[in-house]
Amino acid sequence: MFMMVFRKRTCTEIGLLVYFCLFVCGALCAQQTPGIGWEEEVRKASIAQDWPHALQILDREIALSPEDMDIRAWRARVLTWAGRLTEAEHVYVEVTSRVRNDPDVWLGIGEVYERQQRFVEALRVLDRAIELDPTRADLRSARARVFRATGELSEARLEFRKALSLDFNSAEARAGLLTVRGAPKHELRLGADSDLFDLASPNRGGWISLSSRWAPHWMTNVAGNFYNRGGVNAGKFVASVAGTLPRWGSLSVGGATGHDNGVIPKSETFFEFDHGFRVSEDRPVRGLELVYGQHWYWYSLARVFTLSEAAIVYLPRDWTLTLELTEARSRFPGLAADWKPSGSARVGFPVATWRVRKVFGNIFFGAGTEDFAQVDQIGRFSSKTYGGGLRFELTERQDVVGYASFQQRTQNHTDVNFGFSYGIRF
């Protein structure tokens, strides 16, 4: 009887002891199981492009470990991804003053300089990164990107090949080699359009142009335009040359001459100045381009001089807004010169993407717009024009553009215009 009671108590105590041990082990394991680290939190916030949250996490960690340069380097990366390049540069400079032998830090500041278009400085710091670790393919690819941005394609190809020799599976190096296989220097375009009037026979026209970029800083354009105007044929030849300086913009100068038959200008002269500004990479306005031009038209009887100003606003997700104003001074024999304004607004936007194929669209509205290519459209009427178009990028080197518009003129007249063009780059 005693032995039975002892055995029962012993079994009960042993069972309680086992449960107690299991409880203690579970508690210890729970304490030792790590939660999500700050790096994982930052990565998740960065993937979601929640930059304020990512920076908040990093600021918290810096407050806890102010001497940890790895956290500060992470903060510089997030600032770079967020487009806050000046702040990112300051953080990277601070880190490099404390940590001299980390190639990732030099790579990061190189990417900042690249995006700021400070290419000489970018190459200098990337050379330092490669000196620290010459076996990394991503460092060679970063150096290749800088050469590609400056138009030094042969150097870029060499760096991408070095990256592939270090890492045969580098997707960035393989894709980079495709982008520098030899950018096309020429674009040939052919187009045709028609005007359908409510009280006149249709007008038709066609054109062919060749644009050539002979060097990164200058290009030429030649074109032939052909018109059929009420059974009268006319044509002209247009040529221009454009030069570009990175800090100053581009200047295009050209002229035209041809067989006018009284329906198009006998000759033309024009120039256009274009300058772009990089605004931000994370704000609603990404960039701004300003264009100013002057154009002289000499007809058999009339003289026309135009001033044009345009602003192109680059928005997120490849959207654009273009505003244009034109002031035209027309002078006819026996009449005083007369100035007439006109303006237009255009919105461009992406429509769809299938692998390398892309479709872009645009809609526009113009008031008082005139076509100074034809003599009966000078100072004779006012109008409102509504229209739009689509651009199909068939491949990286071919595209098709289609467009149409409806114009309401004075005296209740109308004009429906439509056309297309095909371009190939080689």
How do the domains of the chain map onto residue ranges?
1-33, 38-179, 188-425
Q: Give residue 368's region: left, alpha or beta (phi > 0; psi -120 to 50).
A: left
Q: What is the pLDDT of residues 246-293, one digit of tens each?
A: 788 999 999 999 999 988 999 999 999 999 998 887 789 999 999 999
Closest residue by Cα to residue 381 from 363, 405, 407, 404: 407
* Dist CA 321 CA 91 (whole Å): 35
Return the pLDDT at 167. Answer: 92
Q: Same CATH fold, 188-425 and 38-179?
A: no
Say which CATH architecture domain 38-179 belongs to. Alpha Horseshoe (1.25)
Between 112 and 246, name the one with better pLDDT: 112
Mean per-residue pLDDT for 404-412?
Answer: 89
Neighbours of 362 (CB within 10 A): 18
CA quadruple 178, 182, 186, 189: dihedral, nearest 10: -20
- pTM tops 0.85, yes or no: no
Domain 188-425 coded CATH 2.40.160.40? yes
Q: Give residue 222's region: left, alpha or beta (phi > 0; psi -120 to 50).
A: beta
Residue 29 C-alpha from the chain's centroid: 52
Which alpha helices (DSSP H) does 285-367 contain, by range? none
Indicate if the pLDDT at residue 201 is higher than 90.
no
Tokens linked to 194: 């028609």
